[in-house]
Amino acid sequence: MSTPTELTTAKLQHISFDEMPVEHLNPLIDRQFVAGEKSMLARIILRKGSIVPLHSHENEQITYVLEGALKFVIQEKEIVVRGGEVLVIPSHVPHSAEAMEDTIDLDVFCPPRADWINGTDAYLRK
């Protein structure tokens, strides 16, 4: 439970994705994200054929595909996540993804992705 001090020092944010700048990571992947103290929400736009290379991170990831389809490879298994479906990836589990069609997804990370915030996510910028 939060203490009164934590509640008053936490930063309240009210944001419209329509007004957020779009970060162009490479010719096929764009993203927007907002981070709180303990979690992060990202909107990712992946064009058909885009690849998110194999990687892992300390952050638990919940991916909700709004439209399109992503093919994940996790522990040597292929999992296709389509519009309206959710995938939960535990911390430190290596995974990659390929956009099977133009896709928009929302990713929730806990804790926030420090590499995204400070721009050291080179694996996505190729």
Beta strand segments in 3-102, E:
23-26, 29-35, 40-46, 51-55, 60-67, 69-74, 77-82, 86-89, 95-99
pLDDT of residue 9: 65
Intervals of the chain under pLDDT 70: 1-9
- Residue-wise pLDDT for 69-87, tens only, equals 999 999 999 999 999 999 9
pLDDT of residue 126: 78
pLDDT of residue 46: 98
In one-letter notation, the amino acid at residue 11 is K
In 2-119, which residue ranges form alpha helices assigned H by DSSP?
4-9, 114-118
In the chain, which residue ranges form alpha helices assigned H by DSSP?
4-9, 114-118
